[in-house]
Amino acid sequence: MAEKLGRGDFFGSPLQQRRVGDLVLLDSLHAPGSRLPRHSHEHAYFCLNHGGTYTEQYGRRRRVCQPGMLVFHPPGESHSEAHGDVPVASLNVELGGPWLQRFVDLCRPLDQPAEFRRDEVAAAGFHILREFRMSDPDSGLAIEALTWEVLAESSGREPHASDKSGPPWLREARDLLDARLHEPLTLRAVAKEAGVHPVHLASMFRRFHGCSVGEYRRRRRFQCARRKLADTDLPLGQIALDAGFADQSHLTRTFKRFTGMTPGQYRTFLGFKTR
């Protein structure tokens, strides 16, 4: 009889684990040549293979999972794995029950497996991996939004844009994100304010803005800080707080990611003296 794994349980050597609301994210490593016995998971999850190759038997079917591939596993699916001759690295994103329940009013049930090979969905998986490793205040929101995008594709539902500038509710959601940079927000809260389903918000937001909701917030904070660095001589710690960053270190990490410079270096470049 196949073993049934409970909440947050996965085979392999755990490298890093994180919880974001009802999501459990686990990055793990499997030794070369290892095998996983036939088993199932109580909760649905999707797996991003970001290193190595393995063969998976699920039901009467078989798939070869190569690096760059993302696979959605519905709850209760029985499968086994045989890993190749190099270590296999995988990021598993497990969904709490409420995540699937929220799809009832918008998408068909997520009760079938799905796989994506080096396309936009797999790319979203790699974005989740990057946000998972960042662990800053905006990464949780980004992970939520990206997860909705993956699930929307797994369900087979395509969002439809109403016009080139986006529907009014999308502009309202964007304005809300801009106005409340200093407040912690969840995707569900923003979607509720906009009067739409979270999966619809996540998909449409990327369609019209080219990034996830979390990434948009990070960019807006950066833009706010950059303006204050250029237009004022406020201390860096104060600018960080005014722009909605957790602290000066958070500002520095984000600023360097976007510009290659620290805020102090940027201000010096503009002719200010760092206080």
List, as own/partner pairs, every contact residues 232-235 make where C-beta atoms lie below 8 angstroms and the sequence separation is at least 24, other chains included: 233/272, 233/273, 233/275, 234/275, 235/275
Would you say residue 215 lies in a domain? yes
Q: Which structural domain, as residue segments, surrounds residue 66?
A: 3-136
Q: What is the total count of domains within the chain?
A: 2
Tell me how far the alpha carbon of residue 16 is from its chain's centroid.
Answer: 15
Are residue 122 and residue 164 in the same domain, yes or no? no
Are residue 9 and residue 128 in the same domain, yes or no? yes
Would you say residue 144 lies in a domain? no
Would you say residue 107 lies in a domain? yes
Burial of 21 (0-12, 13-18, 19+ CB in 10 A): middle
* pLDDT level of residue 163 (50, 70, 90 thresholds): very low
Angle in degrees, CA 70, 74, 76, rounded to 5:
130
pLDDT at 126 exceeding the cut of 60: yes
Q: What pTM did the predictor assign? A: 0.71
Which tops the pLDDT comparison, 265 or 39?
A: 39
DSSP state of 156: T
Q: Encoding tokens for residue 225?
A: 């800080």
Q: What is the CATH number of the domain that holds 61?
A: 2.60.120.10
Q: What is the CATH number of the domain that holds 272?
A: 1.10.10.60
Are residue 123 and residue 189 in the same domain, yes or no? no
Would you say residue 256 lies in a domain? yes
Which tops the pLDDT comparison, 186 or 108?
A: 186
Are residue 189 and residue 235 in the same domain, yes or no? yes
High-pLDDT (> 90) share of the chain, %:
40
